[in-house]
Structure 1
Amino acid sequence: MSTEPPQPSLTERRKAATQLEIARAAAALFAERGPDGTTAEDIAQRAGVALRTFYRYFRSKQDAVGPLLSGGAERWRSLLATAEPGDAFAEVLERAVTEAFRMPDGDADEQLGWTLGLLRAAERDPALRAVWYRVNQDSEERLLPVLARLAGEEADPLEVRLAAAAATDSVRVALESWAATTDAPTDGPGSPAELAVRCLHELMGGMRLFRG
């Protein structure tokens, strides 16, 4: 039986594309003017959509960047979804998080660039930080069934739940630590991929799932 998730419909793809266009417009304006100097009207105008369209998808200007902040987590879950139950749990997680940050098509670098700017802006904007935390909470909830499938039916549900929380926090802490550095390298020592693997070992090293 196939484990691939169902493909989104044309309507869903168009909706996602519009949301991403608005998110990119918001992130660009935040970089230029800061969140305080940007309005929802500004974002809608930059994205080329009506203001009512903006509010159809987002409650506030800070909410608008959610699709950009969640892009990396979606890539990671997609990579994990290709693994099979019974594969070495630790190796699967490490490989997926590394590949998610190092996709060769340039999308990963673009994603990291947006994330870097938004995390630095969030240091001065509580509402933007709240969006970041909400994105991570949503990521954890979406990751749980993916890890449950990989862990197998006999895995302890509590440990699977802890694994989803620890894996999500590993990526979150890695990105926050990376964004706080001056040079913020995208590859090698100090990069998000290297930091995330370190965090995975620190937070999950004692789990039976991770040890195998």
Structure 2
Amino acid sequence: MRSPRPYAPQTGPGAQSLTERRKAATQLDIARAACDLFAEHGPDGTTAEDIAHRAGVALRTFYRYFRNKQEAVAPLLAGGGDAWRALLAEEDPGTPLGEALERAVTRSLSGQQAVEEGLEVTRGLLRAAVDDQALRAVWYRVNQDSEEHLVPVISRLVGPEADPLEVRLLAAAATDAIRVALELWSTTQAPVSGPGSPAELAVRCLRDLTGAMPLLLR
């Protein structure tokens, strides 16, 4: 399966420069090649040279962006977190936070072919990570980065009066809800939608982890 195409670049204030967009596009080309090869041959059967060749770049270009073959998948894994935070950021301040979180999680994990293809790529990577410590480390780091980037999004939704500790705890719980759901789903043959899907599992995890949090009880 060919890995999904990246999202369109931003425009307007804060948009990336042409050089930054080209750099990001190259990284994503390498990431897609790494995911495809890992799915075909596993991490042990794939070299950095293989990935560079599949991506159509020189080996020195590969190492300009990534220290090792496992790190090459990070841009694609991070894309899921970027997408769900962007959906949450679309919510208006004052919207019931529990509803906003569930809506963003559900939308980010279902409903589009590109999302479903991306989930299958993630399932393959998580299965490969079971026996590859370096690949697991990339997965955990991507989730940690996503949690940190989620804090200002939640802060904006709840307003300046929110307790920073409660915001951090909610960001951690929401991130872990998605992480645990994807990890559990990857061990099954469950479909990408419907019962047992990532969206359903993530909402269940989110409710269990955040149900008693002060920010959601106000």
Q: TM-score scaled to structure 1, two decimals?
A: 0.94
Letter in 2 for 1:80: L
In the TM superposition, what is the alpha-carbon distance from 1:36 to its structure 2 partner? 1.0
Q: Which residue of 2 aligns with 1:157?
A: 164
TM-score, with normalisation over the residues of structure 2?
0.92
SS of 2:93 mapped into structure 1: coil
The total of aligned residue pairs comes to 207
Out of 177, 185, 195, the position equivalent to 2:184 is: 177
1:101 to partner: Cα distance: 1.0
Rounded Cα–Cα distance in structure 2 between residues aligned with 1:161 and 1:44 = 38
**Residue identity opposite 1:192 in structure 2:** P
Code of the aligned partner of 2:96 = A
Residue of structure 2 in register with 1:8 after alignment: 16
**Displacement of 1:8 after TM fit?**
2.2
Q: Distance in 2 between matches of 1:162 and 1:141?
A: 11
Of 171, 193, 199, the residue aligned with 2:199 is 193
The 1:42–1:194 alpha-carbon spacing in structure 2 relative to 1, beyond 3 Å, is: same
* Superposition deviation, residue 6 in structure 1: 2.4
> Alignment identity in percent?
69
- Contact 1:23–1:64 (CA<8 Å) still a contact in 2? yes
Instruction: Give, in angstroms, the shift of residue 208 of structure 1.
Output: 1.4
SS in 2 for 1:202: helix
Q: Counterparts of 1:195-210 in structure 2 under 5 Å? A: 195-210=201-216
**What are the Cα deviations for residues 6-53 of structure 1, in whole angstroms up to 9, with x where unaligned?**
222222222221111101111111111111111111100010001111
- Does 1:121 find its partner at 2:128? yes
The corresponding residue for 1:112 is 119
Structure 2 residue identity aligned to 1:203: L
1:28 and 2:36 matched: yes
Post-superposition offset of 1:188: 1.0
Q: 1:211 to 1:189 in 2, by over 3 A?
A: farther
Map Cα deviations across residues 136-177 of structure 1 (whole Å, 9 max, x no partner): 011111111111111110011000000010000000000001
> What amino acid sits opposite 1:40 in the alignment?
A
**Long gaps (5+) in structure 1:** none
- Is the contact made by 1:79 and 1:96 (CA closer than 8 Å) also made in structure 2? yes
Matches within 5 A, 1:34-183: 34-104=42-112, 106-181=113-188, 183=189
2:7 aligned partner: none
1:63-118, CA deviations, whole angstroms, 9 ceiling, x for partnerless residues?
000111111111001111111211110000000010001243x2101210110100
The answer (yes or no) to whether the contact 1:68–1:114 under 8 Å persists in 2 is: no
Equivalent position amino acid for 2:14 in 1: P
Which amino acid in 2 is paired with 1:45? H
In structure 2, the gaps of 5 or more residues are: 1-11
Give runs of ≥4 in structure 1 deviating > 4 Å.
none
Query: 1: distance between equivalents of 2:121 and 2:13?
Result: 27
**1:5, CA displacement in angstroms?**
7.2
Aligned CA-pair RMSD: 1.3
